[in-house]
Amino acid sequence: MSSFKPNPFGLYDTVGNVWEWAQDCWHGNYEGAPVDGSAWLEANNGECNYRVVRGGSWSNSPRGLRLAGRDGIDSGVAFINIGFRVARDL
């Protein structure tokens, strides 16, 4: 059972559980970002010791829970509010 209507991709309740790790290396802005949806790795001065996390978690205020939310986190650490989403093509 879902709490909210699906997003434009047909997915339900995708925000608020944990910050989700992304493959991308940390970049402070989007200048030079790939436009084809591929991961943004070391090119253009990326800091690959820091990886992108997205979406916010249960520890954020409601205002902080949004898919566009992102941060750079040291890839060698673990926190209870950072994880990943398992997905597959149907």
Taking only the tens of pLDDT, the chain with its 90 residues reads: 567 788 787 877 777 788 999 999 999 888 889 999 899 988 767 889 999 998 888 888 887 788 788 899 998 999 999 988 777 776
Spell out where the chain has E strands: 19-26, 47-54, 70-74, 82-83
Phi first, then psi: give them for residue 18, nearest 5 degrees.
-140, 155
Task: Say what the pTM is.
Answer: 0.73
At which residue do the structure tokens 């690959």 appear? Answer: 48
Q: Mean pLDDT, the chain, as a whole number? A: 84
Cα distances from 13 to residues 5, 24, 55, 60, in angstroms, run 8, 23, 12, 16
